[in-house]
Structure 1
Amino acid sequence: MEKLRPKKLGHLVLVVRDIQKSVKFYTEVMGLQVSDWIDDQMVFLRSGADHHDLALSQIPKDSPDINDLPRYSRPGVEHFSYLVEDRAEIERTVEVLKSHGVEIVRGIGKHGPGENLFLVFKDPDGNNVEVYCEMTQIPEGAPHEAKVWERNIDSFDQYRFKHFVVPPPQAVIDAKTKKS
């Protein structure tokens, strides 16, 4: 059977209790830079040229029905990722995963922040693993102003599910329906 062909470990997304406190830690203590935000609920941080190598997602504070993808109520890893060569490799990954009976969770899509293509699937323990490519690069010293994206379909998938190989997450569908 064929295998995936990751090039390197990519980025990590953590679910956090207090996003402002975490941003302060990762910028002021760790020295990371903010690349972009999604409202005040998610932030993308970098230590090098990749748009992000760490993203932080706020645990919903009050309402269990907040559009949280996926829904997490405790701090921890939402997903970790591996860089692959290109879109063709992500498409090949779909076939490899299917041949191994691996559950695909979301994708193929294109995120707003970072502009990267993505495909997310489960490992045997239920962890979310992502393969991605074509992430925005921000070279050292290059001017970059962090953008605040609205938390909507465009920040989640600029293709609007056109290339998804599985049904999109219900929370995103619900949010899309509410805004229509």
Structure 2
Amino acid sequence: MEKIRPKRLGHLVLTVRDIHASVKFYTEILGLEVSDWISDQMVFLRAGTDHHDLALSQIPKDSADIDDLPRYTRPGMEHFSYLVEDRAEMDRAAEFLQHKGIEIVRGIGKHGPGENLFLVFKDPDGNNVEIYCEMTQITPDSGYQPKVWERNIESFDQYRFKHFVVPPPQAVVDAKSNKK
């Protein structure tokens, strides 16, 4: 089987202590633009035409500042991503990762904000690595207006886990069950 063929580094998702202070920093200091929000818990920012090249996720306010990477309750990186050509490459990558015994965390799915397909897996140190494709492009003449998505299954996976190659994260399943 052939290895994954990334085209370029894509985006980074950081967990932050104060999402509003972070948005202010990244927009007013670094000059990024807001593309979309998920409630007041996640924001998608861009420097170019990709819907996002940086996303920020609010950690719970009562989180201790300890090294607990699997729970993402401290500031830091949640995942970084690489662009792949298309859905066929993503399907092939999922099969390759399974063949190699690499832990797949979530996907194949389709996010709401950005509309990109995603597949997330672990590197040897436990970092989340994502491959993605088909992200919304925002150009100056597109008339794109940021929106606030509800924090629900549609913002996480528009396919509603139909194409996941592993069971979905329990927290998302629990949130889906509570909405019924």
Range class of TM-score, shorter chain: over 0.9
**Number of the residue aligned with 2:61:** 61
Deviation at 1:63, TM superposition (A): 8.0
**Number of the residue aligned with 1:79:** 79
TM-score norm. by structure 2 comes to: 0.94
Residue correspondences, number: 175
Matched-pair contact (CA < 8 Å) for 1:14–1:78: yes
Deviates more, 1:105-114 or 1:53-62: 53-62
Deviation at 1:144, TM superposition (A): 1.7
Partner Cα distance (1:102, 1:172) in 2: 22
Deviations, residues 133-160 of structure 1 (Å, cap 9, x unaligned): 0000001343221110000000000000
Long gaps (5+) in structure 2: 65-69
**Number of the residue aligned with 1:106:** 106
Partner Cα distance (2:72, 2:105) in 1: 15
Deviates more, 1:141-150 or 1:72-81: 141-150
1:3 aligns with 2:3: yes
Deviation at 1:98, TM superposition (A): 1.3
Q: Equivalent residues in 2 for 1:135-146 (5 A)?
A: 135-146=135-146
Partner SS state of residue 4, structure 1: coil
Kindly report structure 1 stretches of 4+ aligned residues shifted beyond 6 Å: none
Q: Name the amino acid aligned to 1:88.
A: A
Matched-pair contact (CA < 8 Å) for 1:48–1:140: no
Partner Cα distance (1:141, 1:74) in 2: 38
Q: Name the amino acid aligned to 2:134.
A: E
**Number of the residue aligned with 1:172:** 172
Matched-pair contact (CA < 8 Å) for 1:34–1:45: yes
Long gaps (5+) in structure 1: 65-69
Deviation at 1:95, TM superposition (A): 1.2
Partner Cα distance (2:138, 2:145) in 1: 10
**Number of the residue aligned with 2:67:** none
**Number of the residue aligned with 2:121:** 121
Deviations, residues 82-112 of structure 1 (Å, cap 9, x unaligned): 0000000000001111122100000000000
Partner SS state of residue 71, structure 2: coil
**Number of the residue aligned with 1:158:** 158
**Number of the residue aligned with 1:147:** 147
Q: Name the amino acid aligned to 2:150.
A: E
Deviation at 1:62, TM superposition (A): 3.9
Partner Cα distance (2:94, 2:46) in 1: 28
Partner Cα distance (2:4, 2:76) in 1: 25
TM-score norm. by structure 1 comes to: 0.94
Partner Cα distance (1:46, 1:91) in 2: 27
